């Protein structure tokens, strides 16, 4: 098993160091602390060949096509909330307003008033896509 520093892994996988850290945080890349390092730096356990293309294509597709607004209960009451991240890491979804839910339900056809204000504010602040096309009004 090949282990590389974050810097070397970033070069090898052709993604930014920031992305490498982000993927480690999300569990998409495995990493461990270097036992020989004083500062406890991370070593990235290099994934199999093809990982990068496969995974990046997947994320791009997901980001582009899937709304981040979701109902947090099956009765579709309360507000729709904005998922902080898309991707396969969302086993327990976290929303921008800080809410978590164990599951999520599609929000297609919700109305503007259904949107959680806190989520909306933060999404706007961060310049995230708002998926206006999902709205019925």
Candidates 6-14, 86-94, 97-105, 123-131 — which segment interacts with Zn ion by CB under 5 A? 97-105
Per rule CB under 5 A, is residue 97 in the interface with Zn ion? yes
Restricting to residues 66-85, which ones interact with Zn ion according to CB under 5 A?
81
Tell the burial category of 13 from Cβ atoms under 10 Å away from its Cβ (0-12, 13-18, 19+). buried
Q: How far apart are CA 57 and CA 44, in angstroms?
A: 21
CB 106, min distance to Zn ion, A: 16
Q: Which H or E run contains 80? A: strand 80-82
Nearer of residues 51 and 131 to Zn ion, judged by Cβ: 131
Q: How far apart are CA 102 and CA 69, in angstroms?
A: 15
Q: How far apart are CA 54 and CA 109, in angstroms?
A: 31
Per rule CB under 5 A, is residue 119 in the interface with Zn ion? yes
Nearer of residues 9 and 81 to Zn ion, judged by Cβ: 81
Q: How far apart are CA 76 and CA 104, in angstroms?
A: 10
Please give the size of the binding site for Zn ion, defined by CB under 5 A. 5
Contact pick of 23, 42, 70, 95 for Zn ion (by CB under 5 A): 95
Q: Contact residues for Zn ion (CB under 5 A)?
A: 81, 95, 97, 116, 119
């Amino acid at each position: 098993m090949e282990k590389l520093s974050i810097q070397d892994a970033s070069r090898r996988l052709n993604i930014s160091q920031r992305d490498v850290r982000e993927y480690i945080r999300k569990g998409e890349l495995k990493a461990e602390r270097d036992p020989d390092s004083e500062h406890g730096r991370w070593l990235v356990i290099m994934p199999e060949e093809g990982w990068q293309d496969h995974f990046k294509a997947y994320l791009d597709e997901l980001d582009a096509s899937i709304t981040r607004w979701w109902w947090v209960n099956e009765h579709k009451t309360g507000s729709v909330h904005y998922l902080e991240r898309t991707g396969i890491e969302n086993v327990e979804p976290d929303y921008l307003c800080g809410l978590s839910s164990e599951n999520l339900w599609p929000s297609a056809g919700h109305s503007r008033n259904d949107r959680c204000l806190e989520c909306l504010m933060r999404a706007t602040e961060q310049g995230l896509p708002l998926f206006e096309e999902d709205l019925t009004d």
